[in-house]
Amino acid sequence: MNRDSGAPLYEFFAGGGLARLGLADSFSCVFANDIEPAKASAYRRAFGDETMREGDIWKLSPADLPGQAALAWASFPCQDLSLAGERRGLAAPRSGAFWGFHQLIERLAHEKRAPDVLALENVCGLLSSHGGSDFMALIHALDDLGYRVGALEIDAALFAPQSRPRLFVIASRNVPAALISSGPSEPFHSQGIRNVVARLPDGLRKRFVWWRLDTPPKRNTRLADVLDDEPQGVAWQSQEHTAKLLGQMSTLQRARVDALRESGRREVGAVFRRIRVEHGERVQRAEARFDGIAGCLRTPAGGSSKQLLLFVEGDQVRSRLLSPREAARLMGVPEHYPLPAGQTAALHLVGDAVCVPVVRWLSQHLLAPLAGVGIERKSA
């Protein structure tokens, strides 16, 4: 892939580098770090060996980082902040890696090399983790480093046919008046953000920034637009498997499928299996959506996390798994990006990443202006 050009960027918890793809119009990555060997390997396949440093962020020192970056990006682990991670919070081993990032920025500040802008990405569960105390601790920690801090909740569905709300905490040493609003505004300042900010201590609340971010044009793509007729490496399920999937639907869900069959239209729905408690018993249910949007991509840890596709074409109903390349398209990843060869590895990489067009919009309309960077398009 082409080398990006722009202001210097440090990318922490880099995964396969999807944030870098979104930032590449304005920022040039000079250092990247991830602790997972498989992700570091995928990053190197995509961008080369030059910038990736594999290992624990706690073991990094300022001497490992070249020069001074305009922006540091950190998609720190979310497992302990989401419901799947039992909400253990920032003190837990994985999400506690944030403090390794914080320590590194603090030490860079002592050398007068701290980036002017920090961008942290995580699940929206951070807002309510431990009653909001984890979010407050993060805001307080960045404020103590001399940054003005604000937060935005952005759903990838604004840009791509995938429901994927994520929280972006943006911290900057410089706060131009043109980039702030007098208060919260739709669609990026959710009620969750408003509620937790209202509970901040007075001084911290007064310094909190309501970032101004332009709303993107209306999305014009649907789930069906990113799907292949015959995807590589993914087989159609047998009629028996499809019948079992339909049998796992609730009465209401099944009625919707039957109505689509009777209409004769071709529709594609995204399906997840979930455990529901009904009449005191745990029941596995298949839940489909036919609104042109996929459910949030997840890492393929189990059957319930694997997203299925249900194709309704008149009387014919077929089903199959979402392919890795289709999942990558839902994340805005270009076709030339080299996905891992194995299906599970590829789905894990994209399911644990950030949506590229979300990052690109955030970069062009907030991060680059904060960093004083002019936007220059890369050559294709």
HEC string of the chain equals: CCCCCCEEEEEECCCCCHHHHHHCCCEEEEEEEECCHHHHHHHHHHHCCCCEEECCHHHCCHHHCCCCCCEEEECCCCCCCCHHHCCCHHHCCCHHHHHHHHHHHHHHHHCCCCCCEEEEEECHHHHCHHHHHHHHHHHHHHHHCCCEEEEEEEEHHHCCCECCEEEEEEEECCCCHHHECCCCCCCCCCHHHHHHHHCCCHHHHHHCECECCCCCCCCCCCHHHHCCCCCCCCCCCCHHHHHHHHHCCCHHHHHHHHHHHHHCCEEEEEEEEEEEEECCEEEEEEEEECCCCECCCCCCCCHHHCCEEEEEECCEEEEEECCHHHHHHHCCCCCCCCCCCCHHHHHHHHHCCCCHHHHHHHHHHHHHHHHCCCCCCCCC
- Burial of residue 374 (CB within 10 Å: 0-12, 13-18, 19+) is exposed
Which is catalytic among the residues 78, 124, 296, 355?
A: 78
Task: With beta carbons less than 8 A apart as the criterion, state whether 160 and 355 touch.
Answer: yes
Task: With beta carbons less than 8 A apart as the criterion, state whether 312 and 269 touch.
Answer: yes
Adjacent-strand bridge partners of 321: 308
Angle at 158 between CA 156 and CA 160, to 5 degrees: 60
Angle at 72 between CA 169 and CA 332, to 5 degrees: 70
> Is 296 tagged catalytic?
no
Task: With beta carbons less than 8 A apart as the criterion, state whether 160 and 331 touch.
Answer: yes
Distance CA 115, CA 251 (A): 55
Active site residues: 78
